[in-house]
Amino acid sequence: MHIPNDVVPLIYDTVKLVNDRILTGKAGINILVEQGRINENTARDFIHIRRRMIDGKRFTRNSSAYITEYFLLRIKKDYGHDGLERALKSLKLHIEYYSKKRGTKLNKLRALYEAYSLKTSYSEKVDEQDEIIAQLKLHKLTREQLIDMLKQLKSKPSSKISIKGERYSRDNFTIALLKILRDFKCQICDTSILKANGSFYIEAAHIVPKRDRGEESSSNILILCPNHHKEFDYGKVENLQQIDERISFKLNGRLVDLPLLIE
């Protein structure tokens, strides 16, 4: 059944009360039928969908991309990043199940899933890197000490690093150190982007991608501005050579030659 967009907040709020056992299922369904003008079965479907999204489990009823996105955003607000991750897992399982069962592609839901998984994982990483950078700045470490940390990280087998009781991913720690040591400047064009809060924005690009077992170290990570990062990822990269802590390659026809060593 078609559901007008302006009813969607009422659906979410009511279903949440049922999921939280503040309302009985029957009372919730009554509200949705009377005030939301949706039928009983559809009301029941939403109770099922939200419950499963919260638990990170597969749901079997389908709903529109608009409603699904609204649910994802509200779940993120209610349960934070972990909640959103669980809801995305649940959505993925639903897409696999439902598209197989009905022989449909569910392109809109797939696009939604892709967009939100990229957004959360990437922005979460950058947030953690910024936190580490802030922590490291508080400690007023010398360049030598930072380089030393970078070397130690390389040989650490654990994937989590603790500072003052906070645990951070080793990969984000390595990138945070590299951003500081490279002075937040693009290694190709020297650009840095000043943010309103006085800190700098810069990106990290893997030479050998992580999915191809690329290492998390200074010899496999370039610090690049957003433009050069995208050009490196999507442009034509030729004659890539890495010799003695130097890397050279042709990027869309232009020669790039960079030192990888940090001194």
Strands 237-243 and 246-251: antiparallel
Could you list the residues that contact Zn ion (CB under 5 A)? Answer: 186, 188-189, 191, 225, 228
Nearest CA to 261 out of 152, 150, 137, 130 is that of 150
Q: Concatenate the DSSP letters of all residues of 239-263 into one string.
A: EEEEETTEEEEEETTEEEEEE----
| Nearer of residues 149 and 178 to Zn ion, judged by Cβ | 178
Q: Which of left, alpha, beta for 238 (phi over 0: left; psi -120 to 50: alpha)?
A: beta
Nearest CA to 255 out of 238, 233, 232 is that of 238
| Nearer of residues 163 and 193 to Zn ion, judged by Cβ | 193
| Nearer of residues 94 and 182 to Zn ion, judged by Cβ | 182
CB of 187 to Zn ion, least distance (A): 8
CB of 17 to Zn ion, least distance (A): 51
| Nearer of residues 8 and 225 to Zn ion, judged by Cβ | 225
Q: Cα Rg for the chain, rounded, in angstroms?
A: 24
CB of 192 to Zn ion, least distance (A): 9
| Nearer of residues 22 and 194 to Zn ion, judged by Cβ | 194
CB of 208 to Zn ion, least distance (A): 20
Whether the Cβ atoms of residue 249 and residue 256 lie closer than 8 Å to each other: yes
| Nearer of residues 105 and 230 to Zn ion, judged by Cβ | 230
CB of 225 to Zn ion, least distance (A): 3
CB of 248 to Zn ion, least distance (A): 16
Q: Which residue of this chain has its Cβ atom nearest to Zn ion in the complex?
A: 186
For residues 72, 61, 54, 106, the Cα torsion angle rounded to the nearest 10 degrees is -40
Whether the Cβ atoms of residue 35 and residue 27 lie closer than 8 Å to each other: no
Q: Which of left, alpha, beta for 162 (phi over 0: left; psi -120 to 50: alpha)?
A: beta
